[in-house]
Structure formats: C-alpha cells, structure tokens
Amino acid sequence: MPKKKENFQYSYAESLQMLNQLQKMAIDEGNLNLAIKAEELKCKIASLQAQENINRENNEITKILVDFINEKQNSENSGDICAADTSQEEI
C-alpha cells in the first residue's frame, strides 16, 4: 500500500531561513551560482509575501465597504447613500 504524502507547507519565515542556510553553505563551498539562485528565490518569496499582504488588505477594505453599504441599505432611513444623490438641484 502506498504511503500517504503529508501536505506540509513552510511559512515564509521558514522558507527564508532555509534559503539563508543554503546560501551560506553555497558561499562557504565557493558555489556562487547556487548562492545567487538562493538569493533569487528569497526575492521571489518576499514578493509573494508582499502580494499576499496587499490582497489581504484589499479584502479587508472591500469587506468594510460592503458591510457599510449593506448597513445603510438595511436601515430604516435608507435614503440615498451617495451625497450626490441627495442633491435637490434639478438640471
């Protein structure tokens, strides 16, 4: 019977720590190509982490706006939400 593969994931910090160790080993052995590759991978991880943070912030802002709009629409004095809609001026 085949052994089940565990779905283990590194955190960003763990991945960066591992790449730092591998990069140090590569430099100690004089393998600059591997050291450069480790640096490249560290940059990619940092970029992924930054993008994830941006997406999380955008999702939080969207949720706040949706909740606000839903609250205004469900209130007894729902009226117009936008200030431009409350203008009494006729064109």
pLDDT tens for the chain, residues 1 to 91: 556 666 667 788 999 999 999 999 999 999 999 999 999 999 999 999 999 999 999 999 999 998 888 888 887 565 555 655 555 555 5
pLDDT recorded at residue 2: 57
Question: Into how many domains does the chain fold?
Answer: 1
Per the domain annotation, does 6 fall within a domain?
no
Per the domain annotation, does 91 fall within a domain?
no
**Domain around 48:** 12-72
Per the domain annotation, does 21 fall within a domain?
yes
Per the domain annotation, does 85 fall within a domain?
no
- Write the DSSP string, 24-46: HHHHHTT-HHHHHHHHHHHHHHH
Looking at the whole model, is its pTM more than 0.75? no
pLDDT recorded at residue 24: 97
How many Å apart are CA 63 and CA 71, to the nearest integer? 12
Per the domain annotation, does 55 fall within a domain?
yes
